[in-house]
Amino acid sequence: MLDVSYLRKKRHVLEEALRKRGYSLAILDELTEIDARRREIITKANELRAKKNEISKKIGELRRRGEDASHLMEEAKKYDELLSELKEKEKEYDRKFWDLWGYVPNIPHESVPVGPDESANVVVREWGERREFRFTPRPHWDIAELLGILDWKSATEMSGSRFVTYRGLGARLERALINYFLDTHTKNGYTEIFPPILVKPEALYASGHLPKFHEEMYYINEDNLYLIPTAEASLANLHRGQVIPEDKLPLYYVAYTPCFRREAGSHGRDVRGIIRMHQFNKVELFKYTKPEESYEEHEKMVQDAERILQALGIPYRVVLLSTGDMGFAAAKTYDIEVWAPGLGRWLEASSVSNVEDFQARRANVKLKRKNGKTEYVHMLNGSGLATPRVFIAILENFQQEDGSVVIPEVLRPYMGVDAIRPE
């Protein structure tokens, strides 16, 4: 959520932000109208309340002296009728306003390329050499089939499409990735967290996933809880309502969690393999920083994710997302895409965003300066990394002609083998 003063005092900034993102500006007119009405009502109600409070105070004084106050009590009652109506309206407009304000996205940082969609994204750098194959590289689902490490039949039978069962060294590889990621990041100063995976709606409002993305998440009506779509949702709530002394910042967190997404809008897309799953594993990085340091920390976070791919030897590129492709809460986002030779395309394995104070405002996380002043912290999140796409990249990049897959050096201690071979 943005600071409301943008609507009143810096409307041009908002307009520009919405235009850059390709959003309609209509919402601003609606907001302005509701806001004007809302303030009108608040002002009126406050005046009435002030008068009524005054009378009540007098009654108190009279009563204490043991004098009669019935005439004043009559007068006070008159205000009740006037107020009760206004109070209803006040609530109504307040709710309307804040609900709608929740649909206003974050303002893109000035360094973000402007464009309608991913076509305007900018490749910032590319790492590693894409391997030349002497044979036609297979897509990961064929390799997995040969190796017997992914079992689609059991998963679809027990859970449906977009679920998979990892088997044998496949399950082992998944676990190895999670552990390797966690071990690497904790060595780099991130504190490991294992958060709840079911969270309350309030938590998702704070992270910015609600109200907009209800449809994208699994919701358990019985208990009013959501399955998290990413650990970001949990980590953004780690310090809810807290005031953090500035010398404690920045805070670095890393968390492994499964993630759950309904993928409601992507029927028919990426249906084969493990590119797009309802349930997948991800190791998430998260930072709480001072506002003036967040962009520097953003760059560092991208590099922390990149280092993992470098150690694994997977070719990748870093893409700066354009205004039209960026997420709702983000002010600036880099994607890290791994090369998948079997598919012949780049796959997003990480998305690293600076949301500035967008989440902090709703989660109410502040920092206290040395001079006693408080302000909202900046929050950053990034995958470090999502396992399925790294899993794919390993299979496809390190496949041999006979279908076996060579395990990267750094994973061997976790795997216990140097290759996965056909059964």
What is the nearest approach in angstroms of RNA to the Cβ of residue 98?
A: 10
Q: Which is nearer to RNA, 101 or 218 (CB)?
A: 101
Which residue out of 348, 375, 404, 412 is catalytically annotated? Answer: 348
What is the nearest approach in angstroms of RNA to the Cβ of residue 224?
A: 8
In the three-class reduction of DSSP (H, G, I as helix; E, B as strand; rest coil), residue 253 is classed as strand
What is the nearest approach in angstroms of RNA to the Cβ of residue 253?
A: 21
The DSSP secondary structure of 379-397, one letter per residue, reads EEEEEEEEHHHHHHHHHHH
Q: Which is nearer to RNA, 54 or 118 (CB)?
A: 54
Q: Which is nearer to RNA, 4 or 114 (CB)?
A: 4
Which residue out of 38, 162, 362, 389 is catalytically annotated? Answer: 389
The answer to whether the beta carbons of residues 147 and 169 sit under 8 Å apart is: yes
Q: Which is nearer to RNA, 72 or 419 (CB)?
A: 72
In order of 7, 197, 216, 233, 300, the CA distances from 236 in angstroms are 25, 13, 18, 5, 19
The answer to whether the beta carbons of residues 108 and 297 sit under 8 Å apart is: no
Active site residue 351: yes
* Beta strand spans in 261-331 (E): 279-289, 316-320
Active site residue 307: no
**Euclidean distance between CA atoms 94 and 88, whole angstroms:** 10
Would you give the distance in Å from CA 353 to the centre of its chain?
Answer: 8
**Strands 332-340 and 150-151, bridge-based pairing:** unpaired
What is the nearest approach in angstroms of RNA to the Cβ of residue 70?
A: 9
The residue behind tokens 């030349």 is 132
The answer to whether the beta carbons of residues 235 and 205 sit under 8 Å apart is: no
The answer to whether the beta carbons of residues 255 and 234 sit under 8 Å apart is: yes
Which residue out of 276, 307, 412, 421 is catalytically annotated? Answer: 276
What is the nearest approach in angstroms of RNA to the Cβ of residue 56?
A: 4
271: β partners: none
- The arrangement of strands across the sheet holding 332-340 comes to 122-127, 316-320, 332-340, 345-354, 378-386, 279-289, 251-260, 191-193
Active site residue 138: no
Active site residue 276: yes
**Euclidean distance between CA atoms 301 and 351, whole angstroms:** 10
Active site residue 110: no
Q: Which is nearer to RNA, 28 or 395 (CB)?
A: 28
Which residue out of 261, 306, 356, 361 is catalytically annotated? Answer: 261
The DSSP secondary structure of 191-225, one letter per residue, reads EEE---SEE-HHHHHHHT-TTTTGGGS-EEGGGTE
Q: Which is nearer to RNA, 15 or 75 (CB)?
A: 75
Residues near RNA (CB under 7 A): 4, 39, 42-43, 45-47, 49-50, 52-57, 59-60, 63-64, 69, 73, 76-77, 80, 91, 243, 370-372, 374
Which residue out of 234, 351, 353, 383 is catalytically annotated? Answer: 351
List own/partner pairs for 82-88 with CB under 8 A and 24 or more apart: 82/48, 83/45, 83/48, 83/49, 83/52, 86/41, 86/44, 86/45, 86/48, 87/45
What is the nearest approach in angstroms of RNA to the Cβ of residue 408?
A: 34
Q: Which is nearer to RNA, 57 or 272 (CB)?
A: 57
What is the nearest approach in angstroms of RNA to the Cβ of residue 5?
A: 8
Catalytic residues: 261, 276, 348, 351, 389
